[in-house]
A and B are shown apart, each in its own frame.
Chain A
Amino acid sequence: MTTKLFGEPVRRREDARLIVGKGRYLDDIGHSALAAAFVRSPHAHARITDIDVEGALDVEGLVAIYTYEDLHGAMAEPLPVLIPHPQLTAARTGHPLANGEVNHVGEAVVMVVATDRYIAEDAAERIVVSYEELPVVVGVDAAREAAHAVHDEIPDNVGARHHQETGDVEPALAASPHTLSFTQYIERSASMPMEGKGVHARWDADDRSLRVYSSTQASTSVRAAIAAKLELSLEKVEVVAPDVGGGFGVKIVHPWPEELLVPMAAIALGQEVKWSEDRREHFISSAHERQQRQDVTVGYDDDGRITALDVHVWHDHGAYTPYGIIVPIITATQLVGPYVIPVYRVIVESVYTNTVIVTPYRGAGRPQACYAMERTMDRIADALDLDRAVVRERNLIQPSQFPYDQHLTFQDGRPVIYDSGDYPGLLDKLRALVDWSSVEDLRAQAAARGKLLGIGMALYVEGTGPGPYEGGHVQVLGSGKVLVATGLTSQGQGHETSFAQIVASELGVPIEDVEVTTGDTRRFPYAVGTFASRAAVMSGNAIALAARGVREKALRIAADVLEVDPGDLEIDEGLVQVKGVPGTSIPLRTVAVLSNPLRYAFDEAAKQATQFTTHDDTRPPVAEGDAPGLEHRDYYSPIRSTFASGAHAAVVEIDTQTWEIDVVKYAVVHDCGNVVNPMIVEGQVHGGVAQGVAGALYERMAYDKDGQLQNASFMDFLMPYASEVPDIDIDHQQTPSPLNPLGIKGAGEAGVIPGTAAIASAIEDAVGRRIAAMPISPTELYDLMRNDDTELTEAHRRRSGTGAMA
């Protein structure tokens, strides 16, 4: 087939509208809609004693005010715990509007609806909420100490104690030739898409049906949640994800309070209602991720081979647990990375704090996991005076060991069995790409310029494409147009292009004829969502299967018409033809027409399928077991996740006057199996690395002890501009997944995972001081350098000739 586009860097089809300003994002919809605005809690922990709306009532243009008292039935219940887990023993969720108590700054207390957003905010400003402040818990350590409780009934602040082990760790540690222990911290950042969340709802009072647009990563599930909460029949609710301006995890959570309240108001008022989140709202009422304290003890032999690993993590999950313990589970299970860990025990205590909820942000627990494992490797290398790459190499799972069972249970409830990979291959490529052995020369050159230079690396394995399933629908129209739909949404990853490439390749049609719709429940009502690097794996394979189904049917119908065996036919450029017999062919669009036996000819093409033009009267027009139309729907449901992998290295240069940390080289080797569109995958890597570097050096959610987010704006939260993102060298490796028809693994999150670990390692290498808290700013590095209590690395002692092993 010549229509082979799988694997090609096809330019994106969605760009045509996006570069001319014709995208359709949430706030581009519904210009005449009423606008919602929210009164949000200014306190991190308080009881609401009174809500006085009096002052707002004479604001001209005010339409309605809602408080918890106005919520009825299921709406008055707590929001759902989306992913229950037996170890999540003390789950708590908020209400769509606060019910008597607020647990973080930014929690919604009152919703105001007015003729436009300005007026809605005017009214919101005039509403007086009285609070009785309660003690505030901020940060994992405070939660752990539990001097105060976030929720009265959970005095120890522990929502879940997640525990997995692959053997008896204590005797294994006792029997190890060496052990070492350390504690380290990692801070909060956030997805921070350029477009905030947003919801638009329209109620058709005559039809009694609701259409909701939401800037979401899970439209089918938002639909189910709205139907359940507003007590509507599912078929009366449609949810559409329009163009979505980035998600990175925060838009997978649902239903956000606003996703319920806006439709509720639209129904009550019989008018369109819209809410677009502003940036401050996004900071204080969406989701964050990443804060953990990690206590690690590792046993190892003289060669640096790990004999046992014992990890205790305290994970800050914020005020509520709507997304269950997915992030802790991912940290727990992805921590082992590409390594053979003979005995492993992990306990993650997921704790409440009076801060914004913590749910997946690109990487979702993996950057923390990688940080724990890779910094452990660095410590072993340091203690044994071994090359950090060599220690890693000695612990790697070998290509001959696949499938490799880590004997853990992943976030999808399925075993962590690595499907395929070549980790030594990754490491070799990385060493070559970053020129690992040249570091001492580089260090000397930098020193001559008065700079400190260091190098670090980090490897990871990423479980991608978890189930339970996704579906795809492919339909060929009589015009030749091929319609493709999947329920999974897009946040800018180029699904319209990748999925069209798959269909063009599978079906043998020009890509120009293919039209892809994602995240629209009208077109495909069954789906799970876009997260965990699963879109290409899940929907990609489902769509491929659907296209194969269409192909088979097309060949069957064409074989009948051409009176040949279906096996002798091929489809190329939209033409079904007999292989090797040019001229004996029928256009696919004609096959589509013939697939639907007609009584009425509504156009020229349709005439071919009407009852007096088709001649075989020995069979029913639609054969038994067949269906009219050239279309097929199929699903892909994997037995378990696929496991992508990669290795990053960073070279940093540090100015000893300003302690500014400059990433002068960043190298990436990644393996996500077969690739549908290498241009798109590379773009994902670039974006991921930028977020990885940001998480290592710039971004943090700076809460003060009262639970006030001190940097809730782009002025103070240091999201990187181009000047902060290093140039990236990329090398590729492809070990196809044996688990799915296309052999692909997910790629969306990979780039972000090793950034913190690799950069921490590089800084430590440069300055010879332990780096045990990330991110790190120039000020913090300066403080660390001038503090006499800062632990020196063994490598530093050796370098300066003062170490015990020097």
Chain B
Amino acid sequence: MTNVDIERTVTVTVNGVPREATVPVRRLLSDALRHDLGLTGTHVGCEHGVCGACTVLVDGDPVRSCLMLAVQVDGRSVTTVEGLARDDNRGGQVLHPVQEAFRECHALQCGFCTPGFLITIAAGLEKRDNTVELTEEEVDDMVGGNLCRCTGYANIKKAVHHAAATMRDAG
């Protein structure tokens, strides 16, 4: 057994649920989420930190899970695309406004990049004061770090505006 195969048990809150996984120390967070915890909504498009498909929230901030080791999230909290929607307490789910907006604005085609965009944009919109009108620069900022090969981004930007409007109206 080489050093990299030494295993550690990681305790992490994922989408509000405490989870435990025993992983080799070199295991990427993206792989741990996908293959050890079965949360395959987080996608891997490059494994070198450029495409953003693997973006998740760690303690509320977007990070590229392909650039992080699973052991680094020990004791922390992670939100993946599976955790964006809320339970409606009647056995169903209420989608996050960004999820709704992506569907409404046709902001996805193959859907492979989508989880990364959803997470990044949701975090971006939640962080801001939604009573203030969203500017084009803010939108560019929110979508500017993720790659999509299908949509040409126009509808993704539209979806950000749409989601912001929904969040503003909801107060």
Contacts and interface: CB of A to CB of B under 8 A. Distances in A.
A457 to B, nearest CB: 20
B35 A11 contact: no
Contact of A193 (B85, B112, B151): B112
Contact of A19 (B43, B95, B145, B147): B95
A683 B151 contact: yes
B152 A244 contact: no
Contact of B81 (A20, A116, A248, A687): A20
A679 B102 CA distance: 13
Given A193-B112, A195-B112, A245-B111, A722 B144 contact: yes
Contact of B38 (A15, A20, A31, A721): A31
Given A193-B149, A683-B106, A21 B39 contact: yes
Q: Which of B39, B44, B140: most chain A CB closer than 10 A? A: B44
Interface string B44-55: 111110110100
A518 B82 CA distance: 25
Contacts of A195: 43, 45, 110, 112
Q: Which of A19, A246, A719: most chain B CB closer than 10 A? A: A19
Interface residues of B, number: 60
B13 interface: no
A288 to B, nearest CB: 15
A21 B113 contact: no
B84 interface: yes
Contacts of A18: 108, 111, 114
A93 interface: no
Contact of A722 (B40, B41, B99, B156): B156
Given A686-B155, A713-B50, A723-B144, A23 B111 contact: yes
A303 interface: no
Contact of A727 (B4, B26, B93, B154): B154
A11 B149 contact: no
B140 A728 contact: no
B145 to A, nearest CB: 7
Q: Which of A122, A493, A721, A725: most chain B CB closer than 10 A? A: A721
Contacts of A751: 152
Contacts of A682: 106
Nearest to A679: B106
A713 B48 contact: yes
Interface string B73-90: 000000011101100000
Contact of B46 (A11, A15, A23, A279): A279
A122 B1 CA distance: 12
Contacts of B143: 722
B35 A721 contact: no
Contacts of A23: 41, 111-112
A683 B151 CA distance: 6
Given A194-B51, A714-B50, A20 B103 contact: no
B89 to A, nearest CB: 17
A102 interface: no
Contacts of A722: 140, 143-144, 153, 156-157
Nearest to A29: B40
Contacts of B34: 27-28
25 contacts: A11-B106, A19-B102, A19-B111, A19-B114, A20-B95, A21-B39, A21-B80, A21-B82, A25-B40, A116-B35, A194-B43, A195-B112, A279-B46, A492-B110, A679-B106, A682-B106, A683-B109, A686-B153, A687-B149, A687-B152, A714-B147, A725-B152, A725-B153, A725-B154, A727-B154
Interface of B: 1-2, 4-5, 24, 26-27, 34-35, 38-48, 50-51, 53, 80-82, 84-85, 93, 95, 99, 102-104, 106, 108-115, 118, 140, 143-157
Given A195-B45, A245-B45, 7 more contacts: A194-B148, A279-B48, A492-B150, A680-B106, A690-B152, A721-B145, A722-B157
